[in-house]
């Protein structure tokens, strides 16, 4: 599923969960892990002199070399091939460029989540990569521990697959089913009737019923595919604000990863699944794998 896996790191702490998941996928897939640190060349803060800016970049470059070496050593200890790179540029652009130029199949990144969002660091950078990446991105909350099985592999017991019936949702679902197959996980397929967006908060029950039937068709289609792969599967049709309902559901089943598309039926609008994914990534405590 993944031959080339990219792990961008900022040299700080807390990314062990993301690194661990990347190395775990690499072990199972016999993939190469690319460890990338980007020295931020953005002009912020503007008050720095050119001499000060050079000193800051030199420090960042050294920190990046040390950090990438630590990850490479960890990978080598598990027999994983690695490529180490320290680049310069605007972080999210450099990550996207590296991904395209090196035929990356999966990007695994840490994210600060909603409480740590800022205009620098891996929080906002991850959001931008999720938005613009042409390849799947696995966002893992910084400072979260990765649960391991007895043999030292990451545990994926439950995979939540939201769908709106779109092609993007189906592509994301394929990744969820693949993960479930490899780890023997239970698949949970969910559809959310987005009454807020569609203006159906006070709609007649008959109208809500039509929307629910559409959702049932979407989840049943994916459930059938999961059963064809001999995977245990549960389906649910929910009602409410999509990201709220998905996160509550995922927390309730103690999921290990949510897989969903970044382009829903109404890409560029506030409708499910497009911008819902961005908001969900910002809030999720669990890992979220996104695809276009």
Residue-range domain boundaries for the chain = 2-138, 156-288
Alpha-carbon 107 to chain mean position: 8
2-138 belongs to which homologous superfamily?
HUPs (3.40.50.620)
Question: What is the C-alpha to C-alpha distance for residues 92 and 142, in angstroms, rounded to an integer?
Answer: 17
- 158 contact partners, CB below 8 Å, separation of at least 6: 185, 186, 188, 253, 254, 255, 256
Kindly state the tokens that stand for 292: 């276009």
Total number of residues shown for the chain: 292
Find out whether 253 and 158 touch, Cβ atoms under 8 Å: yes
Query: Nearest-CA neighbor of 98 among 39, 40, 42, 34?
Result: 34
CA-based diameter of the chain, in Å?
69
Query: Nearest-CA neighbor of 14 among 204, 160, 145?
Result: 145
The rounded average pLDDT for each run of 10 residues, N- to C-terminus, in the chain (292 residues) is 94 81 93 96 75 85 93 93 96 96 96 49 76 93 64 84 90 96 96 73 64 89 96 95 94 96 53 69 92 89
What's the CATH class of domain 156-288?
alpha beta
pLDDT at 117: 42
pTM of the model: 0.87
pLDDT at 292: 85
């Amino acid at each position: 599923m993944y031959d080339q896996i990219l792990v961008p790191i900022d040299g700080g702490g807390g990314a062990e969960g993301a690194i661990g998941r990347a190395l775990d996928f690499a072990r199972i897939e016999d993939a190469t892990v690319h460890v990338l640190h980007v020295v931020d060349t953005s002009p912020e803060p503007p008050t720095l002199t050119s001499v000060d800016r050079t000193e800051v970049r030199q420090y960042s470059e050294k920190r990046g070399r040390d950090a990438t070496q630590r990850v490479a050593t960890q990978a080598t200890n598990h027999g994983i091939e690695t490529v180490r790179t320290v680049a310069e540029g605007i972080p999210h652009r450099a990550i996207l460029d590296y991904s395209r130029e090196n035929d990356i199949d999966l990007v695994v990144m840490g994210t600060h989540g909603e409480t740590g969002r800022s205009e620098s660091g891996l929080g906002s950078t991850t959001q931008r990569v999720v938005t613009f990446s042409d390849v799947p991105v696995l966002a893992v909350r910084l400072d979260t521990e990765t649960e391991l099985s007895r043999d030292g592999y990451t545990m994926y017991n439950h995979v939540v697959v939201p769908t709106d019936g779109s092609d993007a949702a189906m592509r994301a679902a394929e990744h969820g089913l693949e993960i479930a197959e490899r780890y023997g996980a239970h698949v949970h397929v969910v559809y959310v009737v987005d009454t807020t967006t569609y203006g159906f908060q006070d709609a007649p029950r008959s109208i809500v019923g039509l929307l629910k039937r559409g959702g049932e068709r979407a989840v049943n289609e994916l459930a059938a595919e999961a059963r064809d792969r001999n995977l245990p599967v549960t389906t649910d049709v929910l009602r409410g604000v999509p990201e709220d309902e998905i996160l509550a559901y995922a927390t309730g089943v103690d999921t290990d990863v949510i897989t969903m598309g970044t382009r829903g039926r109404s890409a560029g609008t506030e409708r499910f699944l497009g911008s819902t994914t961005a908001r969900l990534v910002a809030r999720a405590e669990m890992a979220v794998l996104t695809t276009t």
